[in-house]
Amino acid sequence: MKKKVIPVLLLILILSVVYAEYSFGVLAFAGFDNKGLEVKQVTHRLGNADTTSSVSVDHTVWDGLLKAHVDAKGVVNYGGLIQDKAKLDDYLEFLAAHVPDDAWSVQEQLAYYINLYNAATVKLILDHYPVQSIQDVPRTWAVPFIKIGAKEFSLGALEHSLLRKMNEPRIHFAINCASKSCPDLWNSAYTAAHLDTQLDRATRRFLNSDKNHITEDRLELSKIFQWFKGDFNDGDLIGFLDPYVGFNISSSAEIEFRPYDWSLNGSW
């Protein structure tokens, strides 16, 4: 009997992995497919990192699209963006033609990957017009459609195999998943020259938004802090949060994670 059970369990396990990979891109999330692209790591503080770079990527087109179609509260006018879809496609083609390498500064790489993620997410929504949630898109995080050079990446791979590998936890407050519980999509592009300040501002804005409620004795946090806990000060959430909230959080503070609203962060 035991000899029959083991192969069945093994088959179930294999089928589960195949289904999970098909549906969610588990292998991409695990970081197994950065496809050899260069990802520098932030050491110590980004503001103190070497800014020497062989290239300066122009994100002006993306900045203009954001200013035209995203308001100060991060609400996205997808109806307006679809009218400008050709400009968005041109910007993504421009990024695809500029492949990050070791000669880029870490700031230049981070700004590139953050803007690429956000622009690609908007493209995904527009390509599946109309949708009420990014979760309406089949295999949202697993389908490779983001071009960098001759290679294609999924949103999952871009986030987990590239951005998270760069050791800068504040990227979680800069990238946007087109949902109401996500950090706001800013109405300006990220740039290498101002990246440290921009990431700090994005972090403070998110922590002080209605997506979190933080007091000295109780933390009601976005699920981002649950999903990616290890990215924040090696899992010490209080240690990560303290510098941003303006008061000392008790080491015994209760922690609760809020439900995530995946409805679209804008309208048609």
Query: Quick one: how far is CA 40 from the chain centroid?
Result: 17
CA-to-CA distance for 212 and 235, rounded, in angstroms? 18
pLDDT tens-place string over residues 24-79: 444 444 444 688 887 999 988 898 899 999 999 999 999 999 999 999 999 999 99
CA-to-CA distance for 111 and 108, rounded, in angstroms? 5
Average pLDDT, the chain: 90
pLDDT band for 18, please (50, 70, 90 cuts): very low
Cis peptide leading into 130, omega within 30 of 0? yes
pTM: 0.89
H/E segment holding residue 267: strand 266-267
pLDDT tens-place string over residues 91-135: 999 999 999 999 999 999 999 999 999 999 999 999 999 999 999
**How does DSSP assign 132-182, residue by residue?**
SBGGGSTTTTT---EEETTEEE-HHHIIIIIIGGG--GGGGGT---SBTTS
R_g (Cα) of the chain, nearest Å: 20
pLDDT band for 149, please (50, 70, 90 cuts): very high
